[in-house]
Amino acid sequence: MINVRDIRDAARDLLAKGEVRAVIGYRRGSRGMAAEPVVITAPEQADELVWDPTCFHNLALYLVEDRKFLAHSRKAPGAPIAIIAKGCDARAIVVLMQEHYFKREEVYIIGVSCEGVGVLDERKLAGHVPGTPTDAAFEGDDFVFTTPEGEKRLPAREVMADRCLECRAPFPKEHNVVFGEDKTGRELAAPFAALARFEEQGATERWDFWRRQFERCIRCFACRSVCPMCYCDECVVDSITFPVAPETTADEKANRIRWIERSAVRSENITYHMTRAMHLAGRCIDCGECERVCPVNIPLRLLNNKMEREARERFGYEPGASIGAASLVASFNDSDPGSFIR
C-alpha cells in the first residue's frame, strides 16, 4: 500500500531543494471522483497531489508537452522535471528516451507501483456503485468508493481496466525513487486474451467487425492527442505544413500528396488507424489511453496489442524495456520470419 503522504513529501522535498523545476502528478479533478493531471511548481502545492484508482492518465504525455513548450519558447530546461509514473508510464518514458526525445538526467521519475491492482475503468463501474461516487481509494486488492449513500467496497478485479488486468509489469523499473511493492510478473488475467478470442474468428467476421468499428470513428483525434508516442510536430494525416510560395500553382496545391484524407469516412478512418498502429509498433506500451478516451468506444487496444504480440513472439522485442536498445523497426535478426516472401 502506498501512502499518498510519501508521494507528497517526496514532491515537496524535491521542489523545496530546487532539484526539480516542476512535478507532474495527479490532483482531485472537477469531475466527480476522477483525478486530473497537474503540474506543480511550488512546495506548498504538494498537498494537492493524490494517488488513487482514478489516476488513469499516462503522464508521460506532459513530458512531451513540456519538451515542445521549451522548444517553442527557446528556453534552456534548467533543472529536471519530475513525474509521477506508474509501470506503464515509466515504460513510455523509457521509449521516449530510447528515441532521444529527452535525456535520462532531464527527468526525475517518481515511480509508483500499482502493486496487485491497477486503475479503474469508469465504464465498468455502471451498476456496481449507487449514485455518483465522490472519491475512490486503494485498499489492498479492493477499491473503496465514497458515495452519497456511504462507502462501497468492490474487488478491484471487477472494475479494473482490462489493460491493468493483463499487465505483468505494474512496477516502474526505471525510476529515481519508487513507492510500493515490486510485483513484476503478477498475472491477474492472461495477456492478449481479448486478442486471442478475436483472432479465432475468420477473416470475414474480422472485417465485419472492423468495418462497423471504423464506420463510427468521428476523427476527433483524441487517440492521437492523448498518446505520448504521437509527438510528431506534423502528423501524416494532417499535411498542414504544405509550403505555399507565391509561385505555387493551383495544380500543385490540388495535387500535393495527401496520404490520408481527413474526412471521417470508413476507408480514410481505417487507413488512419492502421497507419497509427504501424507507427506504434514496438513503441506502444499498452497504457490503454487511446481506448479510454475514444468517445465512440472503438477497441483500439486490439490493434496495438496485435502489433505488440507479433513483436514479442516473432522478434523477441519488448517495448520500453531498455533505454539503450535499438528500436523494433530499426533492428533485425537473421532469424526474422521470411517464409511469406516469394
Kindly indicate which of the ranges 22-30, 60-68, 185-193, 203-211 contains the residues binding another protein, using the contact rule CB under 8 A: 203-211
Is residue 131 close enough to count as binding another protein by CB under 8 A? no
Q: What are the CA-CA distances from residue 130 to residues 49, 74, 284 (Å)?
A: 27, 50, 35
According to CB under 8 A, which one of 259, 262, 295, 322 is a site residue for another protein?
Answer: 259
Nearer Cβ to another protein (147/271)? 271
Burial class of residue 38, CB neighbours in 10 A (0-12, 13-18, 19+): buried
Strand partners, 135: 146
Give, as ranges, the residues between 272 and 301 that touch another protein (CB under 8 A): 274-275, 277-278, 281
Residue tagged 465485419 (cell numbers): 208
All three cell numbers of 115 = 502493486
β-strand 22-28 against 107-112: which pairing, if any? Answer: unpaired
Helix (H, G, I), strand (E, B) or coil at 135: strand
> Contact at 8 Å (CB) between 223 and 290?
yes
Q: Which of 22, 270, 284, 298 binds another protein (CB under 8 A)?
A: 270
| Smallest separation (angstroms) from another protein to the CB of 100 | 19
Q: Which of 142, 306, 312, 321 binds another protein (CB under 8 A)?
A: 306
Residue 265 binding another protein, by CB under 8 A: yes
Give the footprint of another protein on residues 170-199 (CB under 8 A): 199
The nearest distance, CB 315 to another protein, in angstroms, is: 7
CA nearest to 114, candidates 48, 163, 49: 163
Task: Check binding of 79 to another protein (CB under 8 A).
Answer: no
CB of 215 to another protein, least distance (A): 12
Query: Is the Cβ–Cβ distance between 30 and 133 less than 8 Å?
Result: no
Cβ–Cβ under 8 Å, residues 288 and 161? yes
Residues near another protein (CB under 8 A): 199, 203-211, 236, 259-261, 265, 267-268, 270-271, 274-275, 277-278, 281, 303, 306-307, 310-311, 314-315, 328-332, 336-338, 340-342
